[in-house]
Structure 1
Amino acid sequence: MFPTFPVYVEQFKKFTDLMEVQGRLIYFDGDENLNQIVTGLRRDIVPFAYNTPKHEVRNGVTYLKTKKAEVPLKIFGEHNLQNMEAARLACRQIGVTDQQFYSVIKDFPGASNRLQRIVETEKAVAFKDFAHSPSKLKATVNAVKSQFPDRQLIACMELHTFSSLTEDFLPQYAGCMEQADVAFVYYNPEVIQHKRLKEIDPEQVKNAFGGNNLEVFTDSAALQAKLRSLNYDNTALLFMTSGNFSGVQLIDFAEELLK
């Protein structure tokens, strides 16, 4: 949609320029581009900065450290926590107190397809996530590994979007799955033909991602067979795609693997 990164960043500048008089801007201050935009805000706009809230992970549960108490959460991962903090500040603007917010957010299971817990047993847990861009892919893999550091992390990712299947874009994925103990990348060559893109081969994909623990598949049945051959004791299984691995019912498949 945006041909270059500067053009993308410019959209946020345009957004702030169009804000109503005495508007309130809630922004993530861990992004240097946003910080630069905020320094040039109109003087009538009131900015509210947020970042990752203080938290601690214990036994697979994230505890939010507030001024009064620890709050156990069902969500996890820095991106989710940052979004939660933005929501808290937004709620405060309409009169919701922090305590009211914390009393409800502890039961929020998260958005569908965003680190969505789809199957859980005593020995393993499976998630699915919409992640497909390099930054989101890396953040999602790292979030699951941080949440379950003592578990084997098996991560499966599908290259499905136009950009992710583009030869020149592949190097952006370098190191994105390095925190996974076992990593699989799948793409369907027929999708590449349908999108009229230049063909890519598995070796190109493997070299782009890097890592000796990564295997590339171009056949969904072969990937499923590989997954069925693995041991899932003490494991976190992660599916990441904006598609469905060429027709796989992920919840049913995960239940089969973890039973």
Structure 2
Amino acid sequence: MKTHFIAIGGSAMHNLAIALKDKGYQVTGSDDTIFEPSKSRLEKKGILPQEMGWFPEKITSDIDAIILGMHAHQDNPELARAKELGLKIYSYPEFLYEQSKNKTRVVIAGSHGKTTITSMILHVLNFHQKEVDFMVGAQLEGFDCMVKLTEDNDFMVLEGDEYLSSPIDLRSKFLLYQPNIALMSGIAWDHINVFKTFDDYIDQFRKFVASITPGGVLVYNEEDAEVVKVVEAAENYFRKIPYKTPEYEISNGKVYLKTEMGDVPLSVFGAHNLLNMEGARHICRQLGIMDEDFYEAIMSFKGASKRLEKVEREDQGTLYKDFAHAPSKVKAAVKAFCEQFKKEKKYGFLELHTYSSLNPAFLEQYDHAMDGLDEAIVFYSEDALKIKRMDPISPELIKEKFKNEGLRVLTNAEELHAYWETLDKKNGVFLMMSSGNFGGLDLTK
């Protein structure tokens, strides 16, 4: 099969391209810019575009599938040529469905926790050498590529994202998968640049539940009121399996899960991670993994990339980084950090980096998000606001919306770096929350 990727360099797109290359497909692609690690990984597989840009002449009538990434625009010249030739154009999720429509599809959805839950499931399956196809959004220890596609495997585990599918397909990605088994971890308003009201956002999850195949299974977080409302209002037929935070204790800095089989020591911490783990356990049950085998495997799970991930520092200081940027994720990460490090001085840094997080109308969602920290710092770049063509935001507004008078607000990278240098990294513990890079701050030094 001959495939061509328009915007091959994306984190999801390049993994799919590699998976198809490994499957034996003929793969080509284009992009106007490709960053690491995508660049090196594509180059290693021999599918890195020779030059950056869009080249309509690459689009020929013998191509079986065009796969269109979100990075491309509606007026992309390669897309225009593909339409002109009448080629089959797929969004990323649409193509994944085509690859898995004869398999049992397991889709993990939710505003928060979906990457971690999917990662936990794959870790357990990998530990017990149970082969499945999969797609997950974070790099995992023991996995070379974050997409796997085969002809033989019976199951496919998919991280289900509610964001848009492609520039010409404005459906939420997870609406294209039609799950046989699904999980919903939580609902908290996100992507406000696309979903202008909370109800519009919730509606995507209503549609997701409605897309579960007849007689399927939904594992859902019964502690999330919005999730419960969506599940109770569903009119289609599926089996409902609720889950909640399991019992646990922290002893000498170590988290122990309380189970019928005794205390299970874990390598991760935080009530939200224990909740995620419980959801993963119920999904693994559906895949034939008994609880005893689940606990045996989950003890060695160290977390998904950038999800309360410990950073090895040259000075041996204690620092964790987390992808948290949405309010619900920040609150969960801060709560977990404060619970884990009760006696130490706790520093929390949050970079407001996304369109949503920099939108004054959305900032109210961050109320009390940094409470419990001894030192709370919010950083955003005034230059970034100009580049994104967004209105200026004052530090006073940030403090007001976070409802935190002691909050330190920094608005340029030089100011942040200067403050960082004043801190004794061995005297305290540090939580760094961002989907960016804090203006190039090196967290290892």
Q: Same fold (TM over 0.5)?
A: yes
Pairing partner for 1:209 from 383, 402, 408: 402
8 Å CA contact retained: 1:144, 1:236: no
Does the residue aligned with 2:256 lie in a helix, a strand or coil? strand
Using a 3 Å threshold, how does the CA distance of structure 1 residues 124 and 213 change in structure 2: closer, same or farther? farther
Using a 3 Å threshold, how does the CA distance of structure 1 residues 139 and 147 change in structure 2: closer, same or farther? same
8 Å CA contact retained: 2:324, 2:330: yes
State the match for 2:336 in structure 1: 143
Using a 3 Å threshold, how does the CA distance of structure 1 residues 123 and 244 change in structure 2: closer, same or farther? closer
8 Å CA contact retained: 2:398, 2:409: yes
Pairing partner for 2:256 from 38, 63, 84: 63
Q: Distance in 2 between matches of 1:113 and 1:21?
A: 36
2:434 counterpart of 1:241: yes
8 Å CA contact retained: 1:132, 1:242: yes
Using a 3 Å threshold, how does the CA distance of structure 1 residues 121 and 210 change in structure 2: closer, same or farther? farther
Which one is further off, 220-229 or 52-61? Answer: 220-229
Which one is further off, 208-217 or 119-128? Answer: 119-128
State the match for 2:386 in structure 1: 193
TM-score by length of 1: 0.91
Does the residue aligned with 2:439 lie in a helix, a strand or coil? coil
Q: Distance in 1 between matches of 2:230 and 2:410?
A: 42
State the match for 1:36 in structure 2: 229
State the match for 1:168 in structure 2: 361
Using a 3 Å threshold, how does the CA distance of structure 1 residues 121 and 57 change in structure 2: closer, same or farther? farther
Does the residue aligned with 2:312 lie in a helix, a strand or coil? strand
What residue ranges of structure 2 are gaps of 5+ in the alignment?
1-193
By how many angstroms is 1:11 displaced? 1.5
By how many angstroms is 1:16 displaced? 1.7
State the match for 2:324 in structure 1: 131
TM-score by length of 2: 0.54
Which one is further off, 139-148 or 231-240? Answer: 231-240
Q: Distance in 2 between matches of 1:37 and 1:245?
A: 37
State the match for 1:156 in structure 2: 349
AA matched with 1:3: K
Q: Distance in 2 between matches of 1:170 and 1:36?
A: 25
Aligned residues: 252
State the structure with bigger RCO (CA 8 A, min sep 6), 1 or 2: 1
Does the residue aligned with 1:112 lie in a helix, a strand or coil? coil
AA matched with 1:199: P
Does the residue aligned with 1:119 lie in a helix, a strand or coil? coil
Q: Distance in 2 between matches of 1:55 and 1:226?
A: 37
8 Å CA contact retained: 1:154, 1:180: yes
Using a 3 Å threshold, how does the CA distance of structure 1 residues 59 and 228 change in structure 2: closer, same or farther? farther
8 Å CA contact retained: 1:123, 1:235: no
Pairing partner for 2:303 from 110, 119, 142: 110
8 Å CA contact retained: 2:318, 2:429: yes
State the match for 1:20 in structure 2: 213
Which one is further off, 41-50 or 65-74? Answer: 41-50
What residue ranges of structure 1 are gaps of 5+ in the alignment?
none
2:275 counterpart of 1:82: yes
By how many angstroms is 1:234 displaced? 5.0
8 Å CA contact retained: 2:346, 2:430: yes
By how many angstroms is 1:226 displaced? 1.5
AA matched with 1:216: V
Q: Distance in 2 between matches of 1:132 and 1:43?
A: 34
Q: Distance in 2 between matches of 1:74 and 1:122?
A: 22
AA matched with 2:230: I
Question: Which has the higher Rg, Structure 1 or Structure 2?
Answer: 2
Does the residue aligned with 1:246 lie in a helix, a strand or coil? helix
